[in-house]
Structure 1
Amino acid sequence: MLNFLKKIVESLSPDTSSGQNKSGQPSNYQQQYYPQSNSVKERQERDAVVSSEKQTVSGIKANWVKPGTSVSVAGFDIPGGMVYVGTQLPTIGPYKQIDPCLINPKLRVDKTRSDYAGNEMGYWPAYGDISPGARAAYLEWLMGDRKDPDACIGYVFLFFYGLERRVFIDLSETADSSAELTHIIHEVERLLALYPDSHSFQGYAARFVEVCKLMHNPDSFAEAFPVLEKTGWQMPLSTQVALGKTVAAGKPISADWLFSWYLHSETTRLRTPATRCATEFQKLLRLKYAEKYGEGMVLKPNKRRLKVEYRPASSGFSHSAIGIDVGDLPDVSALTAPLSKLQVLVDDCTDALDPYSRWLGRNADKCDAKAAIALLPTELVEDFENDEIRLLRQWLKKTLGDQSHQAISGKQILAWWSITGTEKLTKKESTTLAKSFEKLGYGIEPDVRFGGKALQKESHLVLFKLPKEKISTPSQAYSAAKILMHLSAAIATADNIVDASEQQHLEAHLETTLALSEAERIRLRAYLAWLLKEKLSLRGLKTKLGEMTPDEKAGIANFLISVAGADGHISPQEITMLSKIYPLLGFEADDIYSHIHNFSTSTAIDHSSAQPPVRPSTEPVTVRLASSVNRGFTIPAPTVDAQDKKEVTAAGFALDLTAVKRKQDESANVSVLLSNIFEEEEDDLVEPMNENQTLAEDTEDSVSSLDGPHTKFLRILAQQPSWSRAALESKAAEFNLLLDGALEVINDTAFDVCNEPLTDGEDPIDLDTDVLEQLLP
C-alpha cells in the first residue's frame, strides 16, 4: 500500500528532484511545513503530545489528532480525534494557503451566536474564513461526536476535508497505515448513513471510501458486491475495476455487475416500474439474463485503458484530480453493445412489472399480498415471501391432494381470500382471485375470465391443478366446446343420475375430437365436472340455435342423442330434456322418438336433410313402451352392412376403425359448427347495467370526448377484461372502425381523464379496469 500512496503523492507534490517545484521556485515544502521530518527526536516529541488523552494546542505547528484521542479547543472537548489542530497547514499546489480543514485555536469563537444552521457558511468553507458563530457551531458538532443529523452539511464537509488530506498526503510516509485507514473508512461510512440527503456529500464520500478500500487491499474489489442503486454521477470505482478485471481474465460478467454498469451509464435510464419495484425488477432481470446468457456475457478486452481519478472535495488540493493506480485494465465503459443487449431484457422486465407497479402506486398504503401476486410475473411468484401466500399455498395443495380436480364451495375460498368477511366478490375482485390462483399453479371453474359469474358465498366451484402452459382468455374452439359440453351435460344430468359411461363418453369426445390445447382440455374437464354437479339451464340459447342451418341442427341432435344413449339406455328424464332442446333446434318435440329410432339404426350422419338419416334395422327396436308409464328407451347395438365394416383384431378385441374414425369426424364437425355460432350467455359475461347506463346507450350519449361509434365500441370493450385481437377487430368493424385507430382514440381519452391508458398488449388485449371505471363510472 505504501507504493500505492507514493504514486498518489507524486501526482500532487511539487517536483523536488532538482530542488525546484513546478513553478520553478526552490522547494522547501517539507522542511517548512513538516518539521517532524527533520529528526527522529522531534517526531517522537510530536507523537507524545498528539497521543495524550486530552490536549490543548497553542503552538504554531499543525498536528493530526489520532483516532480515539481527544483535544480541547476554545473550551470544546472534542472526542475521537481525526482533525488537524494548529496554526499552519499549507494547501497542496503551487500557491500556498492555509488548508481549510485546519482548526486554528487562536481564532475567535463566539458561543453566543452559534450558527448551527450554517446560514453564514460559503460553498467551499474554510475554518479560517467562516464566522466566529459558525466556528462555535462546528466545534459543537465535533464535540457531539459528529452524529447530529440536523447539522449543516458544510460542517460535515469541513471535517471530511481533513480526512482527505490525511489519506492522500500524510499516510504516504507511514509504513503501516492499515489500521488507521480502516478506522477512517468506517467513520466516513457512518457519516454517509447519517447524511443521506446531501447528494454532493454522498458522491464525494462514496468515491473516497472506494479509493480507501482499494488502497487498503487492491484485490478487495474481486470480492465486492455490485452497486445496484445509483449513488452519484460517477460510475463506482468498484464497478470499473471489477468489470475491467473480469473482462481481462476472459470470465463471464454476472447479471448484477452488468446491471451496475448499465445503471451508471450516461446513456441509459430506468422507467418507473424498475425503480418503484426495484427488488422484483432485479430478481426478474437475473432470471431472464441467466436464461439468455447462462453464466453471463464474455467480452473481448478493448484497447482503451482504465484511468481512475479522485477529485477531492477540499479546496486544499487546488481542485487537482488525483490519479489512482489500478493496473493495466480495459475500460469497458467505452463499449456500447453489451448495454444494448441488456436493454432488451430491461425493457422486457419493465413491461412485465408495469401492471404490478401501477397497482402498487394506487395501493401503497393497503398492499394485499394475495392481490399483488395476480399482477406479478409468474417467474417471481414462486419466491414471493409472505405468510399469507405460504398458508394459501398449503391450503390449495391440501384441498386438491392427489386428485385431478376437487369440488369446493365459494364459502371455503372466501374464508381464505377475503379479510373483511364479505359474502361475494365483484367481477373485478373475482378476476384478481382467478389470476392469483393461476400464479400459484391452480385454476377454478367457473372462472369469471372464461364466462363464469362473480364469486359468491353460495357458489359451487371445481379446483384443479394447472399445467405449465397457461391460458388467460378463451379461444374460439374452447368457447364452442364449452357450449357443447353445456348442452351434453344437460342431457346427461336430466335423470339426476350421471352414469359413468355417459361421463366417459363426454370425456372421450373431449380427449379425441376437439382441437384444443392441453391446458384447454384440463380446464374443460374441470368445467365438465362442475356441469355434472349443477342444475343446468338452457336460457339464452334459443336465438343462437335459431341461426343454425338444418344440417347443423341435425348434427347437434345426433351428438346429443349419442350422449344420452352412451350407457345403452335413454331414460324418461333424458327424453324430457331432449324434448326441451328439440324445439330450440327447429324440431317438433315428438321428433325425438323417430330420431332415437333413426340413431339406433345408423352409424353415420347424413347432412343432406334436416333430420338424421334412416337405415333399415335388422332387429326389433323399441320406440314407445306399451306401459302407461314412460320408462325410457333401450338402444340395441347398431349393426352395419358388411361392406362398410372393416374389422381389425388387437389384443383379442375386434375394433371397427372405420366406425370409430367416422364418429370422431362427426363430433369434430359439431365443434366446428358451434365455433362460429355460440357466444356465452350474456348474463354470464356482462355485469348487469344500471338504468343510467342503459339510458346512455339508448340515447347514444358520448363518453368524455368520444364520438358515438367510439363510445359504443368502448362499451363493448367493457364487457370483459381481456380480448383476443381477432375478436376486437370483428367488433370494431361493426362500427366501421379500424381496431388500432379506435384503441388509440380511446387511450388518448383515458390519458386525458386519468393519465393512464385503458388497454395493454397486442394479443390478447387487456383492459385496466381501474381506468375503465373512471371512463364509465
Structure 2
Amino acid sequence: MEFIIITGLVVFIIIYKLVSTSKSNKSEQQNIPTSRQNKSSNPVSYSATSDDDEEGLATFTIRTSFGSEEEPSSNKSSGQWLNESHSIQINGRQIIRGFFYSGGVLESIDGYGTEPSLVDDKRAASKADNFDSANEVYTDESLGYWPKYATLSKRCRGVYLDWLASERNMPNMPIGYVFIYFYGFERRIIENKMNNIVSDSEFLSIFNEVARLNKVYWENRSFRNYASNFLELLFLMRPLLLESRVDEIPETHNSLAFKVKLAKAVNEQKAISALLAIEWLRNNDEYSLKMPARRCEVEFNKLFALKYTEKFGEGMIVKPNKTKLRLAYYAASSSIRAVELDLDDLPDPSILKSPIRKLIPLAESCTDELNAYSRYLGKAETSRDDIAALMLLPKELVNEKTSPVIESFKSWANSVIENNNSITSVKEFWAHTGLTVPKTISKKENELILNLASKADVGIAPDLRFHHAKLKVDSSIVLFTPSHGEYFEPTDAFNQTGLAIRLGSMVATIDGHIDDAEKLALEQLINHDDKISPTEKRSLHAYLKWRLNTPSTVAGLKVRIEKLKPNEVETIKKFIIGIALADGKVDTSEIKQIEKLYTNLGLDKASVSSDIHNITSTKTPLSNKQQKVEAGNTAFILDEAILAMHESDTTDAKSMLGCIFSAEEDEVEHIDPVSQTNAGGLDLAHLSLYQALCEKDKWERNEVYELCQKSKLMVDGAIETINDWAYEQVDAPVLDDDGDIYVDLEIVEELKE
C-alpha cells in the first residue's frame, strides 16, 4: 500500500513539473516584445543527441535569442543629448564633438531596454588606441545586425569610442559602429518631431552630418538607403529650412520626397515637368530603367527631357485620383517603429499606371540611343572625354560648334577636299580619333568613322550603309561635304547606278590606266540620270572616285553571274563593252584585259571580239571609219554615232543591273549571333549561373541568391567572376549589382560573337 502511495506521489510531482514548465515557456514567449518579433530574424539553434540505451530517441534543445542581454550599469545618471560643440572625456578619450546620447539611464523609445546609441562611461571599454586606416578594424559577434552600445564587448566599445574621438570619417569602419551613431540622430529628430526642442540650427547641423556620413559610407548599400531616407524625412519635416538643400538628397527607390512632390503637383493640376517625369520613372514598380539610363544618368536625363518636351510641351496634366497618400518612415534603429507623416489629405498619383506607360516609350528610345555610348563607358580605362565616347553620343547631346575635336577634324577634312582631290588614307583619317590604328576596320571601328564624319557634316565613300563596300586599314577614303544627312534614304536609281559604277570601274581600270573618256562615261551615268537627287549625286561621285583609286575585286560576282539567264548575261556583256568603247577605241592590250575580266566573271573570253562586233553593228551600219576585228588588228575605231548608241544602251542597262545584283553582300560584314556563348574561362557552376541570368535583364537579389545556392556559389563572388570573364572577352562587365542584379543584354549578345 505504501509503495502505491509513494508511486502515485512521484507521478503527480512529475506531471506538475511538466505542466508548470509548459506554462512558463508559453508565458516567456508571450512576453517577447512585438516590435522585436517584427524586426529581428532571431537565430534559432538546434542540438540533437541520441543514446543507444534510449532506443535512438533524439533530444532537442531549442534556444532563441534577441541579442546579448544587457548587463546592469552602475551609472544612474540620466541620458542626455550632447550637441555638436560639446566636449567630453570618456574612458580615457577626449571626445571634442557631441552628436550622441551620453549617460547611464535612457529607455529606448519603444520601451524595451536601453537606447541603442546611449554611450555609458561606466561600462567597461578597452584602452584608447589610435586608428590606422590601413589596418582592419576589430569586430566580434557583439556587433550584430541591430547593435547596441550597452551589449557591445569591452573591446568593441573601445573601438567605437576611438571612432567618436576621431574625425569619424574612416571609410573602412565596420558599418555596425556607424549605425549606432546614426541611431542617435533618428531618436533626436523623431522623439522631438512635435516640439521645438531641436532648433533650426541644430536641425541643419544634423542634416549636414548625416549627409557627410552618407558620402563617406556610400558604398554600403544598407547605410546608404537608411541615410538617404532619413535625409528625405528631415526635408519633409522642415521643407522651408532645407529648400535650398533638396538637390543634395540622394535618390532612393520609392522616394518619400518624390511622392509628396508628385502629389502636390497633381493636386494643384500643375503640368508634370520633365524632371519630375524622370523621377516618376525611377520611383515606380511598373518599369525599371536599363543599364544605359543608370550608367549614363546625366546624358539620359538631358535626352529624356528633350524628347519629353517635344512630345508633351510644358508637361503632362494628370487628374487627381481618389486614393490618398500614406507615407511612413521606417527607422534603422530597432527601438523606433514606423513614423507616420501628416500629408494634408493629398492624392497618391504614384500608383497610377497610365501616366507611367506614356513615359516608358520615351525612356526606351533614350536607352536605345545611349546603348553604344553606355557600352563604351562600361569598358576599362574609358572616359566621357574620349573622342570615341563623344562620337557615340546622340546628336542632340553634342554641341559640334564648341567641340575642339570636331572643329579640328572639320578643318582637316575641308583641306583634303580642297587641296587633295578629296582623297586621303584611312590611317590619316583614323589619326583624328586619337586611338591606336586597329588591325582591321570592323563594325565598331566603321561606326566610329561614320560618327566622327557626321558630327562635322562630312560624307565618306565608301559608306557601308549606302555603297555596300567596306573600308580597309590600308585603303583610301574619299570625303565630301555636305554629308548624306541624318534622314538620307537611297533610291532605287541610286542603288542601280552604284552597281553600274562598281562594274564599270572594273572595266575602266582593267589596263591599269584610267582614260578620261572612260571616266567621263561613268560620270555621265550619274550626271544624266534625273532620278538621282543632288545628295545622291555627290555621294555617287565620291564613290566613283574611290572605286577608280582602289584595286577592284570581282569577289562574289562570278557566283551570281553563273545563276543568270542568257538575256541577263548579254546585258552584263553589253555594259562591259559599252564602258570599254567609251573612249572610241579598244586596243589589243585592252581586249586582253577584257578577256581576263570575262574569265574572272565566268564568261567565255573567246566571245569578246564577237561581242564587240555585235554591239557595234546591231543598230548602226559600220562606216568607213570603222574597222573589223581580226587577229592582226591592233584596235577598234568607232564613230560618234556608235558612241551615242552605247551611251543610251549603258543607261538602259542600269535598271537591269539593279535587278540582277542586290546589295554587295560579299563585301558587307554580317555578324550572325551564334547559339553558344564563348564560355572559355568559366567553370560549369559559373557558366550555369550565367546562362540562367541571361533569361531576363533584372533579378532581385534574393532570386540570384537562390540560383547561387543551387551551384554552391556566393553571390558577390559569382558576380565578380562572371564580370572578370566578360572583361576578358569583350572588355566590359555583363552584370551590374545595384541592390537588384541587372544583366546587360547588349553585352550578352556581344559575348555570343
| Short-chain TM bin | 0.5 to 0.7
Alpha-carbon deviation of 1:192?
0.9
Work out the CA distance in 2 between the residues paired with 1:116 and 1:77. 21
Q: CA contact under 8 A between 1:445 and 1:463: conserved in structure 2?
A: yes
Work out the CA distance in 2 between the residues paired with 1:624 and 1:539. 35
Identify the residue that residue 413 of structure 1 maps to in structure 2.
Answer: 429
Work out the CA distance in 1 between the residues paired with 2:222 and 2:558. 75
Work out the CA distance in 2 between the residues paired with 1:250 and 1:315. 40
Work out the CA distance in 2 between the residues paired with 1:292 and 1:403. 45
1:622 aligns with 2:630: no
Identify the residue that residue 160 of structure 2 maps to in structure 1.
Answer: 138
Work out the CA distance in 2 between the residues paired with 1:288 and 1:339. 15
Identify the residue that residue 521 of structure 2 maps to in structure 1.
Answer: 502
Aligned pairs (5 A) from 1:172-571: 172-174=194-196, 177-218=199-240, 224-225=246-247, 231=252, 235-317=254-336, 319=337, 321-354=338-371, 363-365=379-381, 369=386, 376=392, 378-379=394-395, 382=398, 390=406, 393-394=409-410, 397-399=413-415, 406-417=422-433, 419-420=435-436, 425=440, 427=442, 431-437=446-452, 440=455, 442-447=458-463, 450-452=467-469, 455-457=472-474, 459-465=475-481, 466-469=483-486, 480-490=496-506, 496-499=514-517, 501-502=520-521, 504-509=523-528, 511-513=529-531, 522-534=538-550, 544-545=560-561, 548-549=564-565, 551-552=567-568, 555=571
Match of 2:94 among 77, 87, 98: 77
Alpha-carbon deviation of 1:322?
2.3
Task: Output the amino acid matched with 2:658.
Answer: S
Q: Which moved more, 1:215-224 or 1:134-143?
A: 215-224
Identify the residue that residue 47 of structure 2 maps to in structure 1.
Answer: none
Task: Output the amino acid matched with 2:655.
Answer: V
1:721 aligns with 2:670: yes
Work out the CA distance in 1 between the residues paired with 2:433 and 2:524. 36
Secondary structure at the counterpart of residue 144 of structure 1: coil
Work out the CA distance in 2 between the residues paired with 1:436 and 1:672. 32
After superposition, give the CA deviation of every residue in 1:89-130 in whole Å (9 maximum; x if it has no partner). 34446x485433333334443438999425313433333443
Work out the CA distance in 2 between the residues paired with 1:546 and 1:116. 80
Q: CA contact under 8 A between 1:407 and 1:461: conserved in structure 2?
A: yes
Task: Output the amino acid matched with 1:498.
Answer: D
Q: CA contact under 8 A between 1:118 and 1:154: conserved in structure 2?
A: no
Secondary structure at the counterpart of residue 111 of structure 1: coil
Work out the CA distance in 2 between the residues paired with 1:290 and 1:425. 42
Work out the CA distance in 2 between the residues paired with 1:491 and 1:108. 97
Work out the CA distance in 1 between the residues paired with 2:245 and 2:413. 42
Aligned pairs (5 A) from 1:623-638: 623-624=626-627, 632-636=637-641
Secondary structure at the counterpart of residue 512 of structure 1: coil
Work out the CA distance in 2 between the residues paired with 1:211 and 1:158. 19
Task: Output the amino acid matched with 2:80.
Answer: N
Secondary structure at the counterpart of residue 749 of structure 1: coil
Alpha-carbon deviation of 1:206?
1.5
- The alpha-carbon distance between structure 1 residues 551 and 173, as it changes in their structure 2 partners (threshold 3 A), is closer
Alpha-carbon deviation of 1:505?
1.3
Identify the residue that residue 675 of structure 1 maps to in structure 2.
Answer: 658
Identify the residue that residue 67 of structure 1 maps to in structure 2.
Answer: 84
Work out the CA distance in 2 between the residues paired with 1:523 and 1:679. 19
Task: Output the amino acid matched with 1:240.
Answer: K
- The alpha-carbon distance between structure 1 residues 248 and 69, as it changes in their structure 2 partners (threshold 3 A), is same
Q: CA contact under 8 A between 1:284 and 1:379: conserved in structure 2?
A: no
- The alpha-carbon distance between structure 1 residues 172 and 539, as it changes in their structure 2 partners (threshold 3 A), is closer
Q: CA contact under 8 A between 1:462 and 1:526: conserved in structure 2?
A: yes
Work out the CA distance in 2 between the residues paired with 1:436 and 1:244. 43
Work out the CA distance in 1 between the residues paired with 2:95 and 2:614. 106
Q: CA contact under 8 A between 2:507 and 2:594: conserved in structure 1?
A: no
- The alpha-carbon distance between structure 1 residues 288 and 223, as it changes in their structure 2 partners (threshold 3 A), is farther
- The alpha-carbon distance between structure 1 residues 161 and 749, as it changes in their structure 2 partners (threshold 3 A), is closer
Alpha-carbon deviation of 1:242?
1.8
Alpha-carbon deviation of 1:543?
6.0
Task: Output the amino acid matched with 2:77.
Answer: I
Work out the CA distance in 1 between the residues paired with 2:515 and 2:164. 88
Secondary structure at the counterpart of residue 150 of structure 1: coil
Q: Which moved more, 1:125-134 or 1:537-546?
A: 537-546
Q: CA contact under 8 A between 1:597 and 1:621: conserved in structure 2?
A: no
Match of 1:104 among 120, 131, 136: 120
Work out the CA distance in 2 between the residues paired with 1:171 and 1:445. 70
RMSD between aligned residues: 5.0
Match of 2:676 among 746, 749, 771: 749
Q: CA contact under 8 A between 1:445 and 1:461: conserved in structure 2?
A: yes
Secondary structure at the counterpart of residue 444 of structure 1: strand
Secondary structure at the counterpart of residue 69 of structure 1: coil
Alpha-carbon deviation of 1:184?
1.0
Work out the CA distance in 1 between the residues paired with 2:537 and 2:479. 15
Alpha-carbon deviation of 1:335?
0.7
Alpha-carbon deviation of 1:292?
3.5
Aligned pairs (5 A) from 1:19-34: none
- The alpha-carbon distance between structure 1 residues 161 and 769, as it changes in their structure 2 partners (threshold 3 A), is closer
Q: CA contact under 8 A between 2:409 and 2:432: conserved in structure 1?
A: no
Q: CA contact under 8 A between 1:207 and 1:236: conserved in structure 2?
A: yes
Work out the CA distance in 1 between the residues paired with 2:96 and 2:245. 34
Identify the residue that residue 175 of structure 2 maps to in structure 1.
Answer: 153
- Structure 1 vs Structure 2: percent identity of aligned residues? 29
Q: CA contact under 8 A between 1:111 and 1:136: conserved in structure 2?
A: yes
Task: Output the amino acid matched with 1:149.
Answer: P
Paired positions, count: 601
Work out the CA distance in 2 between the residues paired with 1:385 and 1:158. 54
After superposition, give the CA deviation of every residue in 1:476-528 in whole Å (9 maximum; x if it has no partner). 8766533311333455567633258535412224x4256xx887655433211
Secondary structure at the counterpart of residue 363 of structure 2: helix
Task: Output the amino acid matched with 2:213.
Answer: L
After superposition, give the CA deviation of every residue in 1:264-302 in whole Å (9 maximum; x if it has no partner). 323433444444454554444444434443443221122
- The alpha-carbon distance between structure 1 residues 558 and 226, as it changes in their structure 2 partners (threshold 3 A), is farther
Alpha-carbon deviation of 1:181?
1.1
Alpha-carbon deviation of 1:183?
0.9
- The alpha-carbon distance between structure 1 residues 751 and 271, as it changes in their structure 2 partners (threshold 3 A), is farther
Match of 2:106 among 84, 89, 102: 89
Aligned pairs (5 A) from 1:564-603: 576=591, 580=595, 584=603, 588-591=607-610, 594=613, 597-598=616-617
Alpha-carbon deviation of 1:337?
1.5
Q: TM-score, normalised by structure 1?
A: 0.64
Q: CA contact under 8 A between 1:430 and 1:448: conserved in structure 2?
A: no
Task: Output the amino acid matched with 2:115.
Answer: D
Secondary structure at the counterpart of residue 479 of structure 2: strand
Alpha-carbon deviation of 1:73?
2.4
Work out the CA distance in 1 between the residues paired with 2:86 and 2:401. 47
Task: Output the amino acid matched with 2:103.
Answer: G
After superposition, give the CA deviation of every residue in 1:118-151 in whole Å (9 maximum; x if it has no partner). 5313433333443443333322211113222333
Work out the CA distance in 1 between the residues paired with 2:535 and 2:432. 26
